[in-house]
């Protein structure tokens, strides 16, 4: 199937941007019966990418291998380097150091309009005076694709994105979600083997975003091309991706599946950025089959790690792994048990979130199914508990995390 091209010059006015996005003229854009529907994605290899802007380093030694046909998401707060890395792959930004390979070929010096890469932006970049089918046709006309084949490709890609019934409409007659699907169709119509998407759902409401996330997954599975997607939305990344690369201050903190990042974070930044976490800081030592985190207020058990003791350690436990003691819900002999007072209970429909103030003043969050008995009341004393194997112990540099207030401001 087809795509929107990259450009070495990206404008800010919508019509100008749209024109800059679809001006490449690669030769190998023919779709044949043998390739239609097959896994035709191109592998991408990033090696030691560095990008500096005056005294700041936007991207700092980023290396990543992306297999053909994989859906990879670059996730991180604003200013973490994810979009700059995407722009270097597209050719919009030149790396100061490092190398980019597409399908085994080095493309560092290849102009953006000759890379044959599809790009979808957050702000659709559709020509306002052209109909849907004319917008989608534009990259094919620039490539001088014969009219019969052009007509066939447009029909096929509009059917793929479920916009066939809107072919004669102008962009102003479409909703935001429909315009984004047209932009996606235009990015796919010339058969790129790599599609780059930069915050494509950022301007849409929550319900529409969630529906389009599933549409993107379906289209990726049908086409088999390589997707590289940029977002700061953790849930979006978890839903869409085969793997996620978490960016922080220009570096990749961790690469893995959604399960890897959520259940087995390797750094405190990842643990706190992906989902919600309860974090306890203290000293680490090993005691038999468990690792022990101790401070003046508590001693908690978690999975065993290194034998070496360290003064810098953090135990991380997700809110849904913590339970509140009540009739029929009791801790095992080896569970971590803490006492506190309920601050507030928040009803979330299918779940109930309880905030508990512990004896040392720190707050802990419990997330339970709303069907699990009656929830406690504000001001009620409670015991909370979790099993050691349901937590993660981070030590040394991995236990040093972000300034959460600063991070929250960056993500807004």
Q: What six digits make up the tokens of 303? A: 């999975």
pLDDT at position 384, please? Answer: 95
E-state strands within 164-277 = 194-198, 226-231, 243-248, 251-256
Q: What is the pLDDT of residues 330-366, one digit of tens each?
A: 888 889 999 999 999 999 988 999 999 998 899 999 9
E-state strands within 85-192 = 97-102, 105-106, 118-120
Q: First-to-last CA distance in the chain?
A: 36
Domain coordinates in residue numbering, the chain? 14-263, 268-411
Residue 27 confidence class, pLDDT cut points 50, 70, 90: very low
Share of the chain above pLDDT 90, in %: 70
Q: What is the pLDDT of residues 363-403, one digit of tens each?
A: 999 999 988 777 889 999 999 999 999 999 998 777 776 54
In CATH terms, the fold of domain 14-263 is Rossmann fold (3.40.50)
268-411 has the same fold as 14-263: no
pLDDT at 12 over 50: no
Helix (H/G/I), strand (E/B), else coil: 261: helix
pLDDT at position 331, please? Answer: 86
Angle among Cα 20, 51, 70 to the nearest 5 degrees reads 70
In CATH terms, the fold of domain 268-411 is OB fold (Dihydrolipoamide Acetyltransferase, E2P) (2.40.50)
Cα 276 to Cα 320: distance, rounded to the nearest angstrom: 9
pLDDT at position 122, please? Answer: 81
Share of the chain above pLDDT 70, in %: 87
Helix axes 176-188, 132-142, angle to 10 degrees: 20
Q: What six digits make up the tokens of 142? A: 């620039």
Residues in Cβ contact with 212 at an 8 Å cutoff, skipping those fewer than 6 apart: 177, 180, 181, 201, 204
Q: What is the pLDDT of residues 271-284, one digit of tens each?
A: 999 999 999 999 99
């Amino acid at each position: 199937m087809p795509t929107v091209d990259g450009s070495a010059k990206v404008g800010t006015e919508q019509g100008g941007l749209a024109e800059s996005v679809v001006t490449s003229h690669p030769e190998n854009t023919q779709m044949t019966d043998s390739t239609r529907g097959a896994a035709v994605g191109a592998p991408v290899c990033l090696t030691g990418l560095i990008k500096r802007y005056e005294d700041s380093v936007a991207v700092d030694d980023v290396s990543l291998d992306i297999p053909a046909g994989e859906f990879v998401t670059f996730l991180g707060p604003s200013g973490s380097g994810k979009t700059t890395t995407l722009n270097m792959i597209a050719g919009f930004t030149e790396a100061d150091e490092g190398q980019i390979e597409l399908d085994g070929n080095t493309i560092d010096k290849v102009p953006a309009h000759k890379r044959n890469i599809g790009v979808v932006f957050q702000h659709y970049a559709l020509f306002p005076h052209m109909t849907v089918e004319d917008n989608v046709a534009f990259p094919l006309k620039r490539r001088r694709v014969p009219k019969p084949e052009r007509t066939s490709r447009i029909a096929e890609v509009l059917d793929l994105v479920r916009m066939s019934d809107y072919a004669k409409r102008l962009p102003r007659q479409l909703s935001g979600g429909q315009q984004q699907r047209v932009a996606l169709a235009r990015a796919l119509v010339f058969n790129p083997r790599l599609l780059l998407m930069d915050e494509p759902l950022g301007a849409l409401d929550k319900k529409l975003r969630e529906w389009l996330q599933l549409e993107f997954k379906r289209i990726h599975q049908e086409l088999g091309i390589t997707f590289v997607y940029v977002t700061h939305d953790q849930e979006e990344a978890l839903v869409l991706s085969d793997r996620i690369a978490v960016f922080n201050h220009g570096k990749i903190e961790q690469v893995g599946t959604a399960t890897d990042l959520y259940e087995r974070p390797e750094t405190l930044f990842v643990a706190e950025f992906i989902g919600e976490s309860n974090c306890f800081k203290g000293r680490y030592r090993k005691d038999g089959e468990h690792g022990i985190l101790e401070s003046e207020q508590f001693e908690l058990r978690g999975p065993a790690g290194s034998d070496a003791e360290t003064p810098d350690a953090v135990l991380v436990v997700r809110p849904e792994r913590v339970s509140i003691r009540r009739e029929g819900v009791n801790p095992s002999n080896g569970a971590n048990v803490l006492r506190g007072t309920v601050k507030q209970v928040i009803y979330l429909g299918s779940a109930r979130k309880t905030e508990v103030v512990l004896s040392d003043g720190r707050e802990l969050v419990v997330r339970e199914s709303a069907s699990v008995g009656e929830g406690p009341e504000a001001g009620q004393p409670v015991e909370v508990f979790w099993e050691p194997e349901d937590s993660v112990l981070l030590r040394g540099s991995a236990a040093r995390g972000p300034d959460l207030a600063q991070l929250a401001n960056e993500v807004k």
